[in-house]
Structure 1
Amino acid sequence: MRLLTINHIRDLMRQYGLQAFLRDLTTRVKSDFSRWDEFAKSERHATHFEHGVIELMPCSDQAHYSFKFVNGHPGNVQKGLPSILSLGVLAEVETGMPILVAETGIMTALRTAAVTALGARYLARRDSRRVGIIGCGAQAEFQLLALANEFPIEQVNYLDIDPHAAEKFARNLSTQVWRMQQKQNPESLLEGIDILVTATASRKKVVLFRADQIIPGMHIHALGGDCPGKTELPPQLIDRATVVVEYLPQTRVEGEIQNRQGATAPVELQSLVRQNHPGRQHDSEITLFDAVGFAVEDFSALMLLEELAVAHDIGESIQLLAIPPEPKNLYGYLID
C-alpha cells in the first residue's frame, strides 16, 4: 500500500507542475464522466453537527473502489485549521486490497477546479476573457489556474469580505499575466465579466447579488452551496439559466436548486460530456453550473494521483493491514 502525505503531494506538484496536473486532471474527469454508466454511484453520506459536517464519498467501477473522508467546518479558520480536511483511499475491486491512502484536502481543491474548467468548456462563451470570483478562500487560486487552461484570461475581478483573504489571493496570483482588480461590492465585480465563480463558505442561505444583475451571455459556476440550507444565488436566477449539475439526486438536496424544487429541469454534466446535450446553445444564453462536488471526481483524482506517484516514485510503502502468512491464522499472527 502506498501512503501519500501532504509532503509527498507537494513533492509531486513540484516535479510535475501544478498547471500540468490541473490540465491532466480535467482530462481524467472528462474521461470518467464519459463512461458514467460504468460507475456505481450514490449520494455522499453526510452527518451534520453544530460546528459543521463530516462526509463519506464512495465510488467504484469494476476495477477500483474509492472513498473520501471530508469535513466542512467554516469555523476552523479561527482555530488555525483549514475548513476542509480530507483523506482518500483507493482499493482494488478484485481483492478489496487498498493500494493508496492519500491526503486529499489539496486534491479536493484541485478536482473542484478541474470540474469548473470542464463545465466552462461546455457552458461559457468561447470568447470569454474576464472572470469574476466572489470568495477568495482556499479554493480560489486553483479556480483561476484551471480556467486559464481553457480560456486566455485577461482580467480577474475579485471580492471577499475578509481583507486578508483578498490580499492573499492577489499576492499568490501576482505573477500571472491577467489584470487583477479588487472590488468592494458585487455590483462592481459583475460589470463586464464573462464568467462568474461563487466560492463562499457561509453555512446558511445567502444572496450574493440580484438576479437582474446577471447579463445575457454570462456563465456562473456556483460551488459554495454544497449542503442543505447553504446556498449563494438568488432563486430567480435558476429560472433564467440553463442549469447543469453533477449528479441530480445529490444536487437536489445540496445545491442551489434546493431553492427551486420542481421549477427547473437541470442537465447532468455527463450528458454534455457524452454529447447528449449541446451545452451552451447561443451567445446570449445564461448558463449555471450548480456544483456541489461528486465522488466520481475524487475517483478521478485518486487514480491520477496513484499513476503519477508510481511513475515519479513518490510516496511511502507501508503495511497498514494485517496480512498473515497463513490467511486463516489471525490469532497466531497477533500473538507470535
Structure 2
Amino acid sequence: MQNATRNMKILTITDIQKMVQAIGLDHFFKRVIAALEEDFGRWDEFLLSPRHATHYPHGVIELMPCADQHLYAFKYVNGHPGNPLLGKLNVVAVGLLSDVASGYPLMISEMTLLTAFRTAATGVLAAKHLARKEAKSVAIIGTGAQSEFQVMAFASFFRLEEVRFFDTDPQAMSKFSRNLSRQKFRLIPCDSITQAVHHADIVITATAAKKRQSLLDIGDIAPGTFIHAMGGDCPGKTELSEEFLNQVKLVVEYMPQTLVEGEVQQCTAMCIYAELWELVCQQKYGRQDNREIILFDCVGFALEDFSILRVVYELAKEHRIGSELPMIPKPNDPKNLFGLLESSRH
C-alpha cells in the first residue's frame, strides 16, 4: 500500500470540517454513499465479525473491526445516553486504518462526526432499494446529535419537500430547526410522534434512551412507508414492539450482530427478509410494490466505518488535509529497536 512506510496521517475534528467544506456537504454524502454501495457490493471480500462490546449500567464501549485483503480498519466508540445531561456527547469515536501487507497504520481519524455521516449514508443506501423513488417527505423522531446528518443525507438523494420532526426535548427541536432553517424543504415541528409520521414517505427513528420502547403502532404508518430504525443499537434498547416488527418487511446490516443489538433482538432470524448486501448485490428484491411497509434495522456495522475511513483517507491525500506524525519507529536496523533509545541520548 502506498504511503505504508511514511508517517501516520492524523485527522482531527478541524480536518474533517475542512474536508467537508472543501468538497461540499452534499458531495461528501454522495461520495460516502458510493463507497458504501461499492463495499456492500463486494461483501464476500471482507473478513467480518460482530463488534466487541463491553456493557456497563450507564453505557457501552465497543471495538468494531473490518478488513479486506488490502486494508484493515477498526473504530473505538461508546454509547452513553446520560452524557448530554453532563454536557458531554452520547457517542464519541476514534478510527484507525492500516495497510494489510505491512501491518503499518496509515491513519488515525476522529470518528464522532464520521459516525454520524456514515450512519446517515447507510440509511440512504438502504432507502435506494427500499423506499419509493418519488419519496418527498421525511418524519424524524428524535432530534439529537445525529438528526441533522440523517435529514441532510436523505436530502442529498431524494427531492424532499417537507421534514416533520418531534422530540420530547423542546430545546433539541429548536436546535434542529435552527440548524436546518436555510434548507429548501419545509420544516414542520410536531406535537407528537403520531402527528409527525402521518402520511410520511420516510420515517427515521433516532431516539437515545436505553430502554424498551414502542414509538409506533402499525396504524400510524401509511402504506408504502420506509422506516430507518437507527435508535435501537444495543441489547435491551429498542424503539418498536415485536408486534410492529411482525407486520413489516425487515432488512438488517449483518444478522449475527443485529439479532443481538437491533430491533430484531425481539424476534428470530426467520423474521428477517434480507441483509443489506443481498439487495445491493441483487440477490434479493428490495421494494416489490408501493404499499409495502419496509423497515431497515440499522445498528451500525464495522463495514460502514471501513468505507468512510477509506473515503476520508483518499480525500485527505487529494486535498492535503491532516497532519503526519512520527508515530511509528524507523530504526536503521529493524531488529535494533532499543537503539532508538541510545540515539535519543546524543
Same fold (TM over 0.5): yes
CA-to-partner distance for each residue in 1:284-326, whole Å, 9 max, x for gaps? 1110000000001000000000000000000001011233221
CA-to-partner distance for each residue in 1:71-117, whole Å, 9 max, x for gaps? 00111112211111100000000000000000010000000010011
Partners in 1 of 2:220 and 2:270 — Cα distance? 21
8 Å Cα contact 1:57-1:67 kept in structure 2: yes
Deviates more, 1:147-156 or 1:90-99: 147-156
> Is the counterpart of residue 96 in structure 1 residue 107 in structure 2?
no
Residue of structure 1 aligned with 2:157, choices 134, 150, 154: 150
8 Å Cα contact 1:45-1:55 kept in structure 2: yes
Shift of 1:209: 2.1
Partners in 2 of 1:190 and 1:94 — Cα distance? 49
Partners in 2 of 1:325 and 1:76 — Cα distance? 47
Structure 1 residue identity aligned to 2:235: P
Residue 112 of structure 2 is matched in structure 1 by 105
Identity of aligned residues (%): 47
Partners in 2 of 1:233 and 1:184 — Cα distance? 20
Residue 93 of structure 2 is matched in structure 1 by 86
Residue of structure 1 aligned with 2:193, choices 181, 186, 189: 186
CA-to-partner distance for each residue in 1:184-242, whole Å, 9 max, x for gaps? 11111121211100000011111112232222211111000000000001211211111
Residue of structure 2 aligned with 1:132, choices 125, 135, 139: 139
Residue of structure 2 aligned with 1:264, choices 254, 263, 271: 271
| Partner SS state of residue 57, structure 2 | coil
Residue 169 of structure 2 is matched in structure 1 by 162
Partners in 2 of 1:192 and 1:211 — Cα distance? 12
Structure 2 residue identity aligned to 1:115: T
> Is the counterpart of residue 55 in structure 1 residue 62 in structure 2?
yes
CA-to-partner distance for each residue in 1:3-55, whole Å, 9 max, x for gaps? 00111111111111111100110010000000000000000000011221000
Partners in 2 of 1:50 and 1:105 — Cα distance? 22
Q: Taking structure 2 as the reference length, what is the TM-score of the superposition?
A: 0.95
Runs of 5+ consecutive residues of structure 1 not aligned to the other structure: none
Residue 10 of structure 2 is matched in structure 1 by 3
Structure 1 residue identity aligned to 2:154: L
Q: Taking structure 1 as the reference length, what is the TM-score of the superposition?
A: 0.98
Residue pairs, 1:140-289, within 5 angstroms:
140-262=147-269, 264-289=271-296
CA-to-partner distance for each residue in 1:150-195, whole Å, 9 max, x for gaps? 2110111100111111101111110111111111111111212111
Runs of 5+ consecutive residues of structure 2 not aligned to the other structure: 1-7
Moved over 3 A (4+): none
| Partner SS state of residue 240, structure 1 | coil
Residue of structure 1 aligned with 2:43, choices 15, 29, 36: 36
Shift of 1:262: 4.8
Aligned-pair RMSD on alpha carbons? 1.0
8 Å Cα contact 1:59-1:66 kept in structure 2: yes
> Is the counterpart of residue 308 in structure 1 residue 312 in structure 2?
no
Partners in 2 of 1:262 and 1:300 — Cα distance? 26
Shift of 1:142: 0.9
